[in-house]
Amino acid sequence: MIQFVVSIVLFFVIFFGLAFILNMLLRRTWLMAFIYPFVVLIIVDNISTAEYFTAPGESFAAAFSGLTEITIADVSILVAGFAGTIVSGFVIKFLRKSGYQMF
């Protein structure tokens, strides 16, 4: 149970930080929120990334069938990561409104 809670907090913090840095560098507030589903596919599937380019039909079919087999615990951890990207977008918008020019 402790590992589950730590995993949720860890995914939230990791993806908050990644989205914050990406937003700061590229000045695109919601970019990581759009990229996150592809990151989830890479995390969940057991397919090489190169196979998405060599055999896209089979790879995406296998990836989406793998997505249907994840448990509620995995979904909650991945949702915490997505929440981190969303919160990062709101923090960046708040900092821009507050007058921080580098954001």
Radius of gyration of the chain (CA): 16
Question: Tokens 């087999």 correspond to what residue?
Answer: 69
Could you read off the pLDDT tens digit of each residue along the chain, which spans 103 residues?
A: 899 999 999 999 999 999 999 988 888 888 888 999 888 888 888 888 888 889 888 888 888 888 888 899 999 999 999 999 999 999 998 988 898 876 5
pTM: 0.84
Q: How far apart are CA 65 and CA 15, in angstroms?
A: 25
Question: Does residue 41 contact residue 67 with C-beta atoms inside 8 Å?
Answer: yes
